[in-house]
Amino acid sequence: MQRLSSWICGEWREGTGAQSPLYNPTTEAVVAETSTAGLDLGGALSYARNVGGTALREMSFAERGAMLKALSKAIHAVREELIEIGRLNAGNTRGDAKFDIDGATGTLMYYAKLGESLGDQRVLLDGDAIQIGGARLSGQHILSGRPGAAIHINAFNFPAWGLAEKAACAILAGMPVVSKPATSTAYMTWAMVQAVAQSGVLPEGVLSLVCGSAHDLLDHAEWSDVVAFTGGADTAARIRSHSRLLETGAAVNLEADSLNSTVLVPNAKDVTYDAFIRDVAKELTQKAGQKCTATRRILVPEDQADEFVEDLGERLDQIVVGDPGLKGVHMGPLATQSQVGAAQEGISALRAEADVVYGSTKRGEVKGVDGDTGYFVSPLILRARDAHAGQAVHDVEVFGPVATILPYDGSADAACQLVRRGQGSLVSSIYGDDRQFLRDAIHGLAGWNGRLMLTDAKVAEQAYPPGMALPHLLHGGPGRAGGGEELGGQRGMRLYQQRTAIQGNGPLIARFLEG
């Protein structure tokens, strides 16, 4: 059994006292343990600010980008080891683990190239110079890295990608990172940081790892820090109202629950409809449905609902659930026993308003696993009895392989009304070839979503599924989704930057800001 330590103050330190166990979700065996008891987390933050932050602020964007490139390569070098840990501790199939790990290294490499393109400068100009007086008196807005530490509290479902997507933006902006992965699946994150620490590609204090409970980490936050969280709405609310964060005014960015929707437009062409079926099935089963961007509500025209259920069922019949280490298994277990309990509770709430049309609420057949061992939930599709009158179907997110069909009358107005019932989402996707419907969807849904994905026949075969968060585009969403933003290319750095207005002798300021 592996003991997971924390990488703080430039060294590996183990917590004391009772250890928190990490499980293999297929066998329920304990595979690792960790603790933060007795660790000086305030000292860890101070070290990151003073040692890592100082080093980063002296570097250009190109130098930080080169560092991110080396970080990506260090993680890729242990890819096979990480894939095995994903199976062991997160219930990942090989494909699911690769999705997580390659997403991490790909995001780091994207921001590495962005850093290279920004060159030798250490601050960014924010707009053009503004004439405020005589011929020389002018003002210029700039963006520079905040002088604190980026405190990242990540979710259990992406132990690799979760660290990398936040760290890439913060480090390129010039802020050191203290990353706290979800304890239940922290094994992969720990192995990643082990590889990074051994490679020596980062200056001391640029990246720290806290393995185990967050303990009193946030009690040591300062005004200059940034807290970025991904996870459940209840935890997000506690972070938002944390007394120390309110007292200091530290920046807070939250990504929480999201009832994402996928909409089928009437009279979609065959290739568009096929993409709709393909992506609905992918979002339902990839990572066992444990993705913040996964589809939870499926809007289908009323006269196509029966056909859709049959076609989706044929696709899902090909999905084999079981031990993720076995060849031919497409979907593994949920990550923890508590996730199974939450899923079952959510399914019960949905069934008050919807009927099961595919799958079973029981465990179902599980390949390579005896008895009731493991945290398995089989793919399940429900159909709302009345999509507009229902409440639970718009309020309850089952974080697993479960989605609900919402039949609608085929109009863009009705579809938009139903999607908006989710009170803010990370992503909504629309599949169709009716250009007026697609236009209306943009105007009717943009304010309720962090991202809209439109798929028509011309892009259907090359389009990414809606659950793929790309570093080029914003990831986040309003309202229930947390109200935060990350990624989006250079926009992802904005959370970690201070905007400052410089006024005075314009030509002199311009020379000062060169390089």
Residues annotated as part of the active site:
255, 292
C-beta atoms surrounding 290 within 10 Å: 27
Please state, in angstroms and rounded to a whole number, the distance separating the CA atoms of residues 101 and 366: 26
Please state, in angstroms and rounded to a whole number, the distance separating the CA atoms of residues 503 and 460: 50
Which helix (H) or strand (E) segment is 36 a member of? none
Cα of first residue to Cα of last residue in the chain, in angstroms, is: 50
The alpha-carbon radius of gyration of the chain (Å, integer) is: 24
Please state, in angstroms and rounded to a whole number, the distance separating the CA atoms of residues 390 and 29: 40
- β-bridge mates for residue 196, sequence order: none
Please state, in angstroms and rounded to a whole number, the distance separating the CA atoms of residues 415 and 454: 14
Please state, in angstroms and rounded to a whole number, the distance separating the CA atoms of residues 70 and 192: 13
Q: Which of 80, 139, 87, 40 is nearest to 335 (CA)?
A: 87
Cα-based distances in Å from 107 to 65, 262, 289, 378:
12, 25, 22, 31
Q: Which residues have a Cβ under 8 Å from the Cβ of 460 and sit 6 or more positions away? A: 271, 272, 274, 275, 431
Q: Which two tokens stand for residue 198?
A: 């051994």
Q: Which residues have a Cβ under 8 Å from the Cβ of 282 and sit 6 or more positions away? A: 465, 467
Q: Which two tokens stand for residue 40?
A: 């000086």
Which helix (H) or strand (E) segment is 344 a member of? helix 337-351
Please state, in angstroms and rounded to a whole number, the distance separating the CA atoms of residues 501 and 506: 12
Tokens 């060169």 belong to which residue?
514
In contact, 197 and 7? CB cutoff 8 Å: yes
3-state secondary structure 265-301: CCCCCHHHHHHHHHHHHHHHHHHHHCCCCCEEEEEEE
Q: Which residues have a Cβ under 8 Å from the Cβ of 327 and sit 6 or more positions away? A: none
